[in-house]
Amino acid sequence: MKMKVIVHHWDADGISSAAILMREIGKMPVFSPPVGEFRFDARIESGVSSSELAYFVDLNMPEEVLKLADSNLLKRAVFIDHHIQKPIVHEKIVYHNPLSRGVAYPSASFVVSEMFDHSSYLTLLGGLGDVGESLFEMEDFGERAEKIMESEGLEKRDLIEAVRLVDSNYMCVDRYGVEEAALFLRKAGIDDVLEREDWIEKAREVEEEISRAVSEAKIKNGVAFVSFFSSNAIISKVIREIVWKRKAKLCVAVNKGFNGKYQIYLRVGKGNENVKKLIERLRGAGINAGGKAEVFGCVFNADESAMKKAMEIIKDGVREMGFDLSEVMR
């Protein structure tokens, strides 16, 4: 039997998507990149090079995959995603991203589920992890989500709690916990997820830190900004809370304490989903950035000059979108 591996993103969507793949085609080794960093390391390179086929799931890192292909470490690959990116064209890689044909999906879990005619709570776990309860308001996908819930007897509150627990692994920067989660979900039901005591404890550990960061956000005229120091991977959750629950139209968050690196994340609310140009400008300036229509993140080595350059690009881009960060950044 040919050896296969999965390389997946560290969040609930990436974990759920990897679990769906294994439910459909069998158990295999799983790898996640270093949490919070958009790069492959020697551990992933070794795993991929020892396989005949690698699945890259929910990983907005096409450049990293192409490097593996061009270095001959990668024999064959299937790339499955839903983020904004330049489509991959390579003889070794089969590329699946509905956005390349102009169709936006809420999550990679919906893409994988559609590819394999799969339907389970895992499909919803990825969607809720990425877009929250707005999943149920999305044209076409909201109806699909309701049908899955009805057929499986699922409760929305249980799904939301399951996302919180699964995500606790990456928020605590537990890379091996992320990978174990994908293997666990391969067979686990939602009740099994809700009873994971270790995940419940991890979630408790980061919640206070997230709440503190959210409470320190400055919000004016629908624009929010927050800056904090954390070694945990909470920045994505922080901006989701500020936009989804405190109803900011746009939020920029900066974390200067992420294990020798700086992070900048931006998220916009419903009706303002247009950050593609900002992603392209940041990448054009040599800054590692990636995301979707409503959110992007960038991470780089702790460097004040790089931070200044990135923030100047973001402030200019946000101004073109009709928002002003100057009031909340004073």
Residues 177-195 pLDDT 10s: 999 999 999 999 999 999 9
The DSSP annotation for 280-320 comes to HHHHHTT--EEE-SSEEEEEEES-HHHHHHHHHHHHHHHHH
Domains and CATH numbers, the chain: 4-195 (3.90.1640.30), 208-320 (3.10.310.30)
Using 50 as the pLDDT threshold, list the residues of the chain that sit under it: 1
Residue 290's pLDDT is 86
Residue 244's pLDDT is 92
Residue 291's pLDDT is 87
The number of helix segments (H) and strand segments (E) in the chain equals 13, 11
Q: What percent of the chain has pLDDT over 90?
A: 91
Element (H, E) at 237: helix 235-240
Residue 250's pLDDT is 96
Residue 293's pLDDT is 86
